[in-house]
Amino acid sequence: MTQPPPVRPGGLRLGLRANLAQFCLLVGVNALVGGMVGQERSLLTLLATQVFGLAAVSAALTYIVAFGLSKAATNLLAGTLADRYGRKPVLVAGWLVGLPVPLLIIWAPSWAWIVAANVLLGLNQGLCWSTTVIMKIDLAGPRRRGLAMGLNEAAGYLAVALTAYLTGLVAARAGLRPEPFYLGLAYAGLGLGLSALLVRETRGHAQLEAQLTDTERPTGPPAPDSGPSAAGGERPSTREIIVHTSLREPALSACSQAGLVNNLNDGLAWGLLPLLFARGGLPIGQIGLLAALYPAVWGLGQLVTGPLSDRLGRKPLITGGMLLQALALAGTALSGSFPPWAACAILLGVGTAMVYPTLLAAIGDVAHPNWRATAVGVYRLWRDTGFAVGAVLAGLVADLAGLEAAVWVVAALTAASGLVVAGRMYETHPATART
């Protein structure tokens, strides 16, 4: 039987240069998605203790648990829906869900409203961020996937950092509510407008890559368990993809556990470290600066680490990044003033930048284009479950043994995760795997 030609009606082409306008638009949209999280980053734990009077750390971190669980589940749903119905409808739906979030925080008469707002925020992030990741992978093609993920994640986390800093400044002058959350209202409205009016569907690009994959594209070393092969066949079931990504395939499963632990320590940085800094006597302005410094370095660093993984490979950056994060958290537990905390925040940002886009690129390397969106959703399910696990674990340990003990526990788990990657994962990038 003659192979179908690797060209689609409409002249679709793969690559960043060929799709530059849409790619840049999606980078901007993902910055707005990140800003929705950034509006909470430096303020919500302080809101819990200073406005709503929550004394227990574990109670104050319930909003992160709600966010993490809803985002994790929605990541899987977003990937499955994007494979079946297209990317753009999922993106627009995510912005519609996110619109009420700032208003709920502004008007909340009780902490339950804040938790409800974070359920919606998790849905917004799961639908929008997952979809922008998938769409950029679709457009970029296999050769510059690390660069594409670096740009995507850099935009999102630089927006997290900038918004955390700006909301901290506003709160220092005008109070914790309502003024800091007006930014979130602007982000949600702009994101919805751009997504509905200007973003174009990219599923056709994934279908084009699937044709090229089955005929021309070089691949890395096969996994010991080949799992759901989509080469020229039917798309595997969602259950098969979940099992393959979570457990059976060495690289995919190693990435999934690393993603979970990475966001476990990010949940700690989001919810617990502002309390540690406040107990150390730092004013709100400096707490906001520290809350912004870590994601700022993380965001900027991905502009380097994403393309670097296209040259050096995925595994060295993931392993080294997890170990560097563990070192930074240990330093945070040992420190007690602004300068060393700032240095540790920078190290934590560098380590996270090494890991974050590289994990996504590795998932894209291994998963076939026919089921890649679902595999990305499964990976992001595990990764963002880390928010909830980190908030629960850190809160319980902090209530029982103190804030520093919680940081030490998370540092140890992060180091162990890096060692798992070193032992289980093979190199997934085709060019570096062949050298």
Query: CATH no. for residue 318?
Result: 1.20.1250.20
Answer for the pair 81, 238: CB distance below 8 angstroms, yes or no.
no
- Whether a cis peptide bond, with omega within 30° of 0, leads into 307 is no
- The answer for residues whose C-beta is within 8 angstroms of residue 32's C-beta and 6 or more apart is 159, 187, 188, 190, 191, 194
Which residues touch 85 (CB under 8 Å, ≥6 apart)?
none
The residue range of the domain holding 34 is 20-211+237-434
Which residue shows structure tokens 């089955």? 214
DSSP state of 179: G
Measured on CA atoms in the order 193, 196, 198, 203, is the torsion positive or negative?
A: positive
Question: What per-residue confidence (pLDDT) applies to 10?
Answer: 56
Q: What is the pLDDT of residue 14?
A: 75
Is residue 50 a contact partner of residue 208, using CB atoms and an 8 Å limit?
no
Asked if the structure places residue 345 within a domain, the reply is: yes
Question: Is 188 inside a domain boundary?
Answer: yes
Q: Is 387 part of any domain?
A: yes
Examine residue 5 and state whether it is found in any structural domain, yes or no: no
In a domain, 307, yes or no: yes
Assigned domain for 361 exists:
yes
- Give the chain's domain count: 1
- Spell out the per-residue pLDDT of the chain, length 435, in tens: 333 333 444 577 877 777 888 889 999 999 999 999 888 877 777 787 788 877 666 666 788 788 888 988 898 888 788 888 889 999 999 999 999 999 998 998 988 898 999 999 999 999 998 899 888 888 877 677 777 877 887 888 788 888 988 888 888 888 888 888 898 899 999 999 999 999 988 888 777 777 766 555 444 334 434 455 444 456 678 888 889 899 989 999 999 999 999 989 887 887 788 888 888 888 877 887 887 788 789 888 888 888 898 888 999 999 999 999 999 999 999 998 999 999 999 999 999 999 988 998 899 888 887 788 788 889 988 988 888 888 788 888 988 898 899 999 999 999 999 999 999 999 987 665 554
Amino acid found at 271 = G
Check: CB of residue 145 under 8 Å from CB of residue 361: yes
In a domain, 265, yes or no: yes
What CA–CA distances, in Å, run from 104 to 40, 100, 116, 283, 284? 12, 6, 8, 26, 23
Distances (CA, A) of 364 to 96, 142, 167, 311: 28, 8, 35, 16
Rounded distance between C-alpha atoms, residue 49 and residue 354, angstroms: 34
Would you state the pLDDT for residue 217?
A: 43
State the DSSP string of 317-356: HHHHHHHHHHHHHHHHHH--SHHHHHHHHHHHHHHHHHHH
18 Cβ neighbours under 8 A, 6+ residues apart: none
Contact by Cβ (8 Å): 412, 403: no
Look at the block and give the residue holding tokens 């174009």: 200
Asked if 230 and 368 touch (Cβ cutoff 8 Å), the reply is yes
The answer to whether position 306 is within a domain reads: yes
